[in-house]
Structure 1
Amino acid sequence: MLEVRNISANKADYILALKKRNFEAESIFEEILKLDEKRRSTQKQLDEIFAESNKLSKEIGILFKSGEVEKANAMKAKTANLKSDSKALSESMDQVSVDLQNMLYQVPNVPHESVLAGQDESDNEEIFAEGDIPKLSEKALPHWELAKKYDLIDFELGNKITGAGFPVYKGKGAKLQRALIAYFLDKNTEAGYSEVQVPLLVNEASGYGTGQLPDKEGQMYHVGNDDLYLIPTAEVPITNIYRDDLLNEKDLPIQLTGFTPCFRREAGSYGAHVRGLNRLHQFDKVELVNIVKPEDSYQVLDDMVSHVKTLLQELKLPYRILRLCGGDLGFTSALTFDFEVFSTAQDRWLEISSVSNFETFQANRLKIRYKDADKKKHLVHTLNGSSLALPRVLAGILENYQTDDGIRIPEVLVPYTGFEWIK
């Protein structure tokens, strides 16, 4: 959520930057600034009333002590009027604050200056590519056929138990999945991240804090009786660990990693492009979260990108990195790099990670601040990234490592799987 003071100070620049997202901000900014002016004016009136009430209360006490009861009672009537006025102003203040908050919730984050204007994913910019795309035999299969051939993943059984998009991993498929989780977590902790295990359900405040609400409630599974949400990513509970906290400067940076299942309704997703593991309602993901000082966040973003590159280099999967254009940028992000792995059997790129800097956008919603050496309070910057989302990584391994003799396991995973081949 943008800060009102920053909107006021940078209004013209913000309007221009948000056009990269195809978001017209001028009218909503005008309304936000009017509401903020009304909020500040109302607060000033309340402060004056409270000051007057305190002054009268002291004078009333003095009058009673000196025996001037009639004057004291007259002043008491005046304080009663002030109390009535303050109640009306407080109610007005509460409504203005709610209206202001709701308006601010409608405004996406301001894109970083490096973000290009664009309509959708077709306008994203490829900034890096690495790895050789293997040449497969004419018998090569897409991963859903390989999963069936080697009894690794049963999509029909998942459909029977729950519904489409909830696969059952079996045998070596389950063990390969577990190996990837362990490998990613080990690499993350070796890089200095602390591992956490977090709840898979969050309350409404947590969803608002990281920006999933009110923007994406249609994509989240809602447990109505308890008013809780199944997490769409570990970013939500991990970042909310520090909601409403005032940190010390020495506590930063905070680097956390965690594995969770993730749940997304993905309403309206149909067709061949979502077959198999391409798009699921439940999937596993290992996440990175960084909470840092503002001046450090873009170096940390670069470090996160380099870290994810290392994972893909060790897995020896062909991949590329895209800088998302304004039209494809997530609501809360200032800058996002997407990683895509090449699916040789499908002849297409599959997204397997997004690494994003939210700057103060989430921190302002979450009220995560830190106190510097001079005792001044500042909002932190938050960042997150997948390292990695498992379904499409697994799809890439099955397809790119297939041979006529079976599926070879990437060398780096063999210590985790205990086997070198799926046959």
Structure 2
Amino acid sequence: MIKIIFFASSIYNFLSNKFYFKLLYLFTSLSVSTTLLFAPGIRFLNKILIFWGLLLIAINLYELFQKKRKPYSFEIVLYAFLVLTLAITFISYPTLENIKTWLINTMLFTVIFSIDAFKLKNSLKKELTIISYLFVCLTFILSSISINMILSVRKIWITNSYTGEAITYGFDSLFANPNSLGIASALSLVIGLYLFLNTKSTTLKIFNVINFLVQIQTLILSTCRSAYLVILALLFVYMYVYIKNNYIRFGIIFITLSSFVIIVTVYLSKLDLILSGREAYWRAAFTLIKNKPLFGVGNSNLIPMIKAFKPSFAEALDLGGLHNIYIEIATVNGLVALLLIILFIILVFFFLVKKLDNCAPTEKLKYTTLLGLFIGISLINLLESNLIYGVTFINLLFWIYSGYLISIFHKNKVLL
């Protein structure tokens, strides 16, 4: 009997360990973005992880009553988003697909984004380092091979019959598309910089420098424009955090937003070339938002309703959505839902800036780098749809790193 209880306890401890879950899900989501998608067992593993995620949601609800902790303002915002979207899903578009989408969002907000207030800070730092090296090592290998393929003009041809019809795909790199390649390299570059600042090992520092050089070359070869937003975000965050004068900080935000508006205005006639057809999706989405501003059209209706406007490159909708998560949220769940997500990003940003202002110099530099990652992914989603409604390596990194950053700073609690 004791052995059975011990075995059951061991199984529960493993299944309730969100660190293992995040580690495996990050590996799987990155694999799905590459030619490994066609490897035996990857899709099956992805389904297992979804079930594991649902189990962790249930465990979280149970532990919520066991461990009492006052929620942060940004957590309340996420809970409000979940309550709102569940209500409008059942009222306006109660389909199985929309309920599944809601469950995916719940997993992202409560399992992937988790504030482990009762873990030791050193344990959190160790877990964050392991996750970071997993991603950097994988992207280092993938980018190195992809560079060789691109420069030697070689392709990988894969015939797949998953849908019942044999289809042959050609890949210019190990990634499924240039955007995934470029974004992965940009994120690896920033995370590698964090690891460089975080380690005292000469060997690891050399590795991170080599990775930095590899990812710079990959970023350039990928021709992915949205990936450069990560670099710009990093520079913006460094300036904002290290300049403590509030008037200058306000000026930085004002100049950044004004520059964005001016650039869009000046190049308005050329946006179709710059955005590669995205603006056609957005125009169609704005019409849908105008018709249903509060509740949206639902995730299951999004693609068919946008395709009804017959935009160019309509086939890209099936793979990348509207290529702007903020427009997509407003279209799918309404403007209130969009405001809640934007409010979450703003609250987390200012919470972490406030913490960094009182941080030791070495800690401040490396965690400011990760704040740059957080803002960088937020900006990437101006041209991509990888924040909610599904699981990709991009939104996993967003929710994982924001959760760990807040958890590490939780000991010196400052509520907004």
TM-score > 0.5 by shorter chain: no
Larger radius of gyration: 1
The TM-score normalised by the length of structure 1 is 0.24
Structure possessing the higher relative contact order (Cα contacts under 8 Å, 6 or more residues apart): 2
Which one has a larger percent helix, Structure 1 or Structure 2? Answer: 2
Which one has a larger percent strand, Structure 1 or Structure 2? Answer: 1
